[in-house]
Amino acid sequence: MRTPLVFIGATVVGVLVGCSFTTAGNFTECESDAECGAVAACSSGYCLSLPSGCRRENAGGSTEPFSEGNRIPIAALLPLTDSTGEVDDSELQGLNAMKLAISEANDNKGLSNRHFALFVCDTGRSDSALSQQLEWMVKNLQVPAVLTSGSGQTQEAAKNPLRIDAGTLIISATATSPALTPTFQREGNVWRISPPDTVQARAVVALVKADFPDAGDVRIDVVFSASDYGRAFGQPLCDGLLGAGYENTRHEYREGVADSYANVAIGLTNGIPRATVLIGFPPDVREVITRAQTYPNLSRTDGGHRWYLTDAAKDPAVLTPTTRGPLEGSLGTAPAQGAGGAFTSFRDSFRGRYNNTDPLTFSYTSHSYDATWLVMLSAAWASQGGATITGAGMGEGMRKLQVAQPAIPLRADKWIEASNNLSQGVAINVDGTSGALEFDLDAGAATSPYEVWQVVDGGIRVVRLLNP
Amino acid sequence: MRRFALLVALTCATAGFSANPKASALAKEADRLYKDNKYKEAAETLRKAYDTEPSALYLYNIARAYDQAGELESALEYYRTYVGLPAEETQPDLLKKANLAMDRLRTLVARSEADKQVRDAEKTRLQDDAKKAEARADAEANEARKQRREFEAKERDRKARETETVNVRKLAAFATGGVAAAGLASALTFSIVSAVNRDAFRTADTLADKRRLETETRTTAAVTDISLLVGIAAGVTAVILYPKGDEPPRAVNVVVAPIAGGAVASVGASF
C-alpha cells in the first residue's frame, strides 16, 4: 500500500517540479520590436524595456513591423522637456523632422529592405539621464548612431567612455558650442549640422553693427548661462563686441535659479546698456525678460533698450503675454534653416504631415531633418558588401557626402539614388534643407549661413539671411 | 485309548496293590484329574502318592501323566526310572510300553531339542538382526540427527545470511531513499530558483541581464531536471531494494501540498 504512495508522491512531485522543463525553454521573446510594445525593443530575440523616458517611434516603412534582423536602430536622445516637465516645442518639431526623414527612407524600401528604427528618449535636460539612456542604447541595441540636441548634452554624450569604446556616431542638429570642435578632433565621430557658436557670435556682432553702426561708447551687454554652452558662446561674443568697439559687461545666470535671474536684471539696469544679447533657452529668456521689464531703462519704449536673442530662443514658447511686449521687434540669430536646396520640399512635407506647422517657426527643425538624413546616408556607406553597420563605418560615410559633383537634394524621391550610390561605395554630394551641408572636416561641423529672425506681432518671423 | 489304558492300570493298581489308603486316595484323585485332562496335576498328585507309597506303577503312571501333559523330559525321566526298576517290580507290558514311549519321547525330545536349537539359533539370529537393526537404526538416527543439526545449522546460516541481506537491502533502500529525498528536495529548490530566474529574465531590461538570466535559468533548470531524474530513479530503486516479507516494509510517504499562487507548496517525507 505504501509503495504505490511513494510512486504517486514521486510522480506528483515529478510532474510539479517538471515545470523546469518548461522554464528552461522558449527564451526567444520576439522577432520584431512590435511584439514588445511601444516602450520596449527587440534585441537578440529578447524584449528589453526601454529606459525611462524612451519610446519607439513609428518610423514608417511598408513592411512595418519589420524584424529585428532587418532593423537599423537609431537613437535620438533629446531634451523634449525640461526639469519642470515643460515641453520644448523646438525639440518636439526637431523630432518630427527626424521622424519625417526616417519614414521617407523606410517608405522607399529603407536600406536594401532594411529599415531604420527610431528610438526616442527625453533626457529632460538631465546629463545623467542622457548618459544612462545612451549607455543602454549602445549596450543593448548596439545603436551605431545617436542624435543629440544641445551643446551640453552632445558634449556629455561625446565623452561617454562606453560610446567612445563602441565608436558610436554622435550627431547633433543643434549643438553649436565651440568646445565640441576639440572633442571632434580628439575623439572623432561627433558631428554637428550647425556651425559653432563662434560663427554665430560673429553673426550677432554683425547684427548689432547693423543697428548701431557707430560703436563709440555704446554699451552692449551679454547675458548667458553659467554653463559650458553659455560661456563657449558668450565669451567669443563679448570678445567680438569688444573687437568691434562696443563696451560690454557680461552677466551670468544659473539656470532655474530665480535670484540669479533677478541679479542679472539688477546688473543690467545698473549698467544701462543700449542693448543686451540674451543667450538662453525660452525658460531662461522668459525669466530674465520678466524681471527686466520692471526697470524702465530696460524697456524698448522708455529706455530705448533692445534685446538680441540667439538660436536657443527661437521658439514660440519664449513669447508669453508678459514677454511678448518687451520682445516685440527684437532680433535674433540662428543657423539658417531654409538655406538648402531641399528646404522647400521638406517644408511642404513637414506641413503636410504635422498640421501645417511651419518649420521656420522653430530653430533647427531643418537641421534635425538633415542630421537624420546624413545618419541614414552614412549607414548606407557603412553597409557596403553587407557589412555590419557600425559607428566607425558611418563616421567614414560622413566624409563621403561632399565630393565635387552635382548635389543630390535630400528629398524622399532621392533616397534610393543616394543610398544606392553610397552602399556601392560611390561618394556623393548632398544638398540639405538647412544648407549645402559642406562640412569642416577638421571641426565636424557644417558651414551654414545664419538667419535673422524677429519677433513680429507676437510671432517669430525670419527676416533675412546673413553670412558672418 | 491311552486314557482308557491308564485308567485300567490305575484301577488295577488301586485294587491290587495299594495297601496305603492315603496313597490309594491320591491315586484315585490322580485318576480323576487325568480323566479331566489335568495331566500335570495328575502327575503331581501321583508323585505325592508315590512319595507316600513308592510303587512302580505310580512311576509308570507319573511318566504317562507327564507324557500326556507334554512335559517330555519329566515323562522320559520317569519312564527311565520305571524301566530301571528291578524286573519284579515292573510289568512286562508296561516295560514294553515304557520303552516304546521312551523311544518316542527321545525322538520327540531330540526333535524338540533340535527345534529348540533351531529356535535358539533363529532367536540368536533374530536377536543379532535386531541388534544390527537397532545399531543401524541408531546409526540412522545419529545420521538423521547429524543431518538435522547440519540442516539446522545451514538454516541458521541461511537465515543469518537472509537477515544480513535484508539488513543490507534495508540500509541500501534507506540510503537510496535518502538520495531520492535529496534529489527531489534539490529538484524542488532548483525549480524555485529556476522560476525566480525566469521571472527575473522576463523583467530584465538589459541584454546582459537577459543573457545572464537565460544562462542561469537554463543551468538551474538543468540541475532541477537532473535532480528530479536522480530523485525518481533513486526512489524507484529504494522501493525495489526495500525487502518484502512478513515484516511490513517501512515506506516513504511523500506529501505534496499546493499553496496559493504556487505549483508546489511543500514536500514532506515521513519514515
pLDDT reported for residue A5: 54
Beta-carbon separation of B205 and A19 below 8 A:
no
- Please state, in angstroms and rounded to a whole number, the distance separating the CA atoms of residues A273 and A247: 9
Looking at every residue in chain A, the average pLDDT score rounds to 89
CB B242 within 8 A of CB B172: no
Q: Where are the beta strands (DSSP E) in A7-143?
A: 40-43, 46-49, 54-57, 71-78, 115-122
Q: Which of A114, A121, A82, A81 is closest to A98 using CA atoms? A: A121
- Please state, in angstroms and rounded to a whole number, the distance separating the CA atoms of residues A23 and B219: 11
**Helices (runs of H) and strands (runs of E) counted in chain B:** 7, 2
pLDDT reported for residue A442: 86
B89-108 core/surface letters (b: 16 or more CB in 10 A; e: else): ebbeebbebbeebbeebeeb
Contacts of A44 in chain B (CB under 8 A): 207, 210-211
Q: Which of A321, A323, A322 is closest to A313 using CA atoms? A: A323
Q: Chain B closest CA to A106's CA: distance in Å?
A: 26
The full length of chain A comes to: 468
* Mean pLDDT across A14-35: 70
pLDDT reported for residue B50: 92
Q: Chain A closest CA to B260's CA: distance in Å?
A: 14
Give the pLDDT of chain B (271 residues) as one tens digit per residue: 444 445 445 544 444 455 688 998 999 999 999 999 999 999 999 999 999 998 899 999 999 999 999 888 899 999 999 999 998 888 999 999 999 998 888 888 888 788 888 888 888 888 888 888 888 888 888 888 888 899 999 988 888 888 888 888 889 999 999 999 999 999 899 888 988 988 899 888 888 999 899 999 988 888 888 888 999 999 999 988 888 875 544 444 444 444 433 344 344 443 3
Per DSSP, the three-state class of A138 is helix
Choice among A20-29, A312-321, A358-367, B66-75 with the minimum mean pLDDT: A20-29
A-B CB pairs within 8 A amount to 116
* Mean pLDDT across A242-259: 94
Beta-carbon separation of A48 and B254 below 8 A:
no
Instruction: HSE, CB side, 13 Å, CA atoms: give it for residue B209.
Output: 14
- Other Cβ atoms less than 10 A from the Cβ of A90: the count is 30
pLDDT at A1 over 50: no
Query: Mind listing the pLDDT tens digit for each residue in B171-209?
Result: 999 999 999 999 999 989 988 898 898 889 988 888 899
pLDDT at A167 over 80: yes
pLDDT reported for residue A392: 96
Query: Is the CB of B205 inside 8 Å of chain A's CB atoms?
Result: yes
Query: Mind listing the pLDDT tens digit for each residue in A189-224?
Result: 999 998 888 899 999 999 999 999 988 889 999 999
* Strand duo B253-259 + B262-270: pairing: antiparallel
Beta-carbon separation of B235 and A16 below 8 A:
no
- Please state, in angstroms and rounded to a whole number, the distance separating the CA atoms of residues B200 and A49: 13
pLDDT reported for residue A417: 96
Contacts of B221 in chain A (CB under 8 A): 20-21, 23-24
Which of A69-78, A436-445, B244-253 ranks highest by mean pLDDT? A69-78
CB A3 within 8 A of CB B239: yes
Choice among A110-114, A373-377, B25-29, B244-248 with the minimum mean pLDDT: B244-248
Q: Chain A closest CA to B153's CA: distance in Å?
A: 35
pLDDT reported for residue A59: 67
Sign of CA dihedral A400, A406, A411, A416: negative
Nearest to A21 among B203, B225, B267 (CB): B225
* Strand duo A250-253 + A46-49: pairing: unpaired
pLDDT at A64 over 80: no
Query: Is the CB of B187 inside 8 Å of chain A's CB atoms?
Result: yes
Beta-carbon separation of A17 and B205 below 8 A:
no
* Strand duo A450-456 + A459-466: pairing: antiparallel
pLDDT reported for residue A176: 85
Q: Chain A closest CA to B162's CA: distance in Å?
A: 22
Q: Chain B closest CA to A191's CA: distance in Å?
A: 28
pLDDT reported for residue A161: 95
Contacts of A53 in chain B (CB under 8 A): none
Query: Is the CB of B230 inside 8 Å of chain A's CB atoms?
Result: no
ipTM: 0.72
Beta-carbon separation of B217 and A27 below 8 A:
yes
Task: Return the bridge partners of B196, or none.
Answer: none
pLDDT reported for residue A21: 58
Contacts 24+ apart (CB under 8 A), B12-17: B12/B57, B13/B55, B13/B57, B13/B58, B13/B61, B17/B55, B17/B57
* Helical segments of A167-320, H only: 180-187, 197-211, 228-243, 258-271, 282-292
**Amino acid of residue B232:** I
CA distances from B28 to B9, B33, B123 (A): 12, 9, 43
* Cell numbers linked to A424: 556601392
Nearest to B256 among A12, A48, A49 (CB): A12
Q: Chain A closest CA to B160's CA: distance in Å?
A: 26
Beta-carbon separation of A19 and B191 below 8 A:
yes
